[in-house]
């Protein structure tokens, strides 16, 4: 996830960004247009900045999808050894007491080594995701992320303490958005899309690398081996993090392509509605899926996860 850093007041006092897609409220108030990646307008709508920090990485659905391996077990695949764990994780997820259960923390007590492997996989996925946003922004001429220490693979630069604790306790969380300044971009619509898709693309590359490693180690070690489990879960988390972020709902990365299509001033009201209401829509879907058991993301992750592993030559 990335966030727009407003240009310096000295450079943009009482002026629009050249070619910036207008904002309905900004046009009414006559204030500067400071549109960004995950903000409606940093100066005019300060509340939106906080809303767009709520990038949700729905790890609860990842946990739920350990149930995919239970289905694999019935097909007598190499992943059948994970069946018992799958049932236990699905049991937490479907429990009426879900709100009082710490899903990943519960795994820390029952399967501590697997818990460490999962957390490591999540940290790797998030760190590469956010680093890729910063790297592409830097290559496109924006030094903002580098100046703020985000052009690094150090997880401490990308993990949000509150978001990470939410991940452990509630099963979903968020990372720190990577800042960028549209004033440095030559082609703002195009470059914003490039910065946005950099994160999901990096996750697909990581998932592919870990899947190939899994193909190499699985025949000799079996799925009961911790290394094989780590490779499987890291590949699974990465591919589904990429899929989830490509959903065209703000503040997810996929929304950047949709907003680029709606960059013309006549779509300003639509853009503003998407940017301000998108996070509420996304959070509502996540809560309904987690608490109500609707399975919106469950089916999505299972479909693309299975398709990815089949593509990698792993019979699921």
Task: Report DSSP state, residue 178.
Answer: E
Catalytic residues: 130
Among candidates 57, 27, 32, which has minimal Cα distance to 183? 32
Half-sphere exposure (Cβ direction) of 8: Cα atoms closer than 13 Å: 4
Position 288 scores a pLDDT of 82
Sign of the dihedral defined by the CA atoms of residues 63, 284, 257, 147, in that order: negative
Cβ–Cβ < 8 Å for 22, 33: yes
In three-state form (DSSP H/G/I as H, E/B as E, the rest C), the secondary structure along 228-295 is HHHHHHHHHHHHHHHHHHCCCCCCCCCHHHHHHHCCCHHHHHHHHHHHHHHHHHHHHHHHHHHHCCCC
d(CA 266, CA 288): 34
Position 105 scores a pLDDT of 77
Q: Are strands 178-180 and 2-4 parallel, antiparallel or unpaired?
A: parallel
Q: What is the DSSP string of 123-181?
A: HHHHHHHHHHHHHHHHHTT--HHHHTT-SS--GGGTB-HHHHHHHHHHS-B-BPPEEE-
Task: Report DSSP state, residue 140.
Answer: T
Joined together, the tokens standing for residue 104 give: 């990943």
Cβ–Cβ < 8 Å for 5, 180: yes
Contacts of 283 (CB under 8 A, 6+ apart): 54, 56
Among candidates 216, 127, 221, which has minimal Cα distance to 178? 127
Q: How many CB atoms sit inside 10 A of residue 147's CB?
A: 13
Position 3 scores a pLDDT of 64
Position 297 scores a pLDDT of 82
Please give the average pLDDT of every successive group of 10 residues along the chain, which has 316 residues: 53 39 40 36 38 37 39 37 37 33 73 92 96 97 95 95 85 86 91 95 98 95 93 95 93 90 88 91 83 77 91 82
Joined together, the tokens standing for residue 260 give: 């680029």
φ/ψ (deg, to 5) at 314: -105, 115
d(CA 308, CA 205): 12
Q: 107-113: which pairs have CB atoms within 8 A and are 24 or more residues apart?
A: 107/63, 111/85, 113/226
By three-state DSSP, how is residue 156 classified?
Answer: helix
Joined together, the tokens standing for residue 293 give: 């058991």
d(CA 100, CA 4): 36
Tokens 């005019």 — which residue? 44
Task: Report DSSP state, residue 157.
Answer: G
């Amino acid at each position: 996830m990335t966030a727009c850093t407003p240009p310096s007041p000295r450079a943009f006092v009482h002026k629009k960004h050249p070619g910036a897609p207008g904002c309905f409220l900004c046009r009414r108030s006559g204030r500067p247009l400071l549109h960004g990646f995950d903000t409606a307008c940093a100066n005019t709508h300060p509340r939106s900045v906080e809303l767009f920090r709520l990038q949700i990485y729905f790890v609860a659905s990842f946990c739920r999808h350990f149930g995919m391996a239970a289905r694999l077990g019935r097909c007598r695949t190499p992943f059948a050894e994970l069946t018992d764990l799958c049932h236990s994780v699905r049991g937490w997820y479907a429990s009426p007491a879900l709100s009082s259960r710490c899903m990943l923390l519960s795994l820390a007590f029952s399967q501590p080594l697997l818990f460490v492997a999962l957390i490591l996989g999540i940290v790797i996925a998030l760190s590469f995701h956010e680093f890729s946003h910063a790297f592409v922004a830097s290559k496109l001429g924006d030094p903002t992320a580098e100046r703020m220490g985000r052009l690094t693979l150090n997880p401490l630069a990308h993990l949000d303490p509150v978001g990470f604790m939410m991940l452990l306790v509630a099963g979903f969380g968020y990372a720190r958005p990577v800042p960028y300044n549209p004033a440095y971009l030559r082609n703002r619509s195009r470059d914003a899309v490039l910065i946005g898709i950099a994160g999901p693309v990096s996750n697909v590359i990581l998932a592919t690398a870990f899947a190939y490693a899994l193909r190499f180690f699985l025949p000799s070690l079996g799925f009961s081996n911790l290394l094989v489990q780590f490779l499987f879960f890291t590949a699974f988390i990465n591919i589904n993090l990429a899929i989830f972020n490509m959903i065209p709902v703000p503040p997810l990365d996929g929304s950047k392509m949709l907003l680029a299509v709606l960059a013309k001033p006549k779509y300003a009201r639509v853009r503003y509605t998407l940017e301000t209401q998108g996070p509420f829509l996304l959070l509502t879907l996540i809560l309904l899926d987690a608490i109500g058991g609707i399975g919106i993301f469950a089916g999505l992750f299972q479909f693309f996860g299975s398709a990815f592993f089949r593509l990698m030559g792993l019979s699921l």
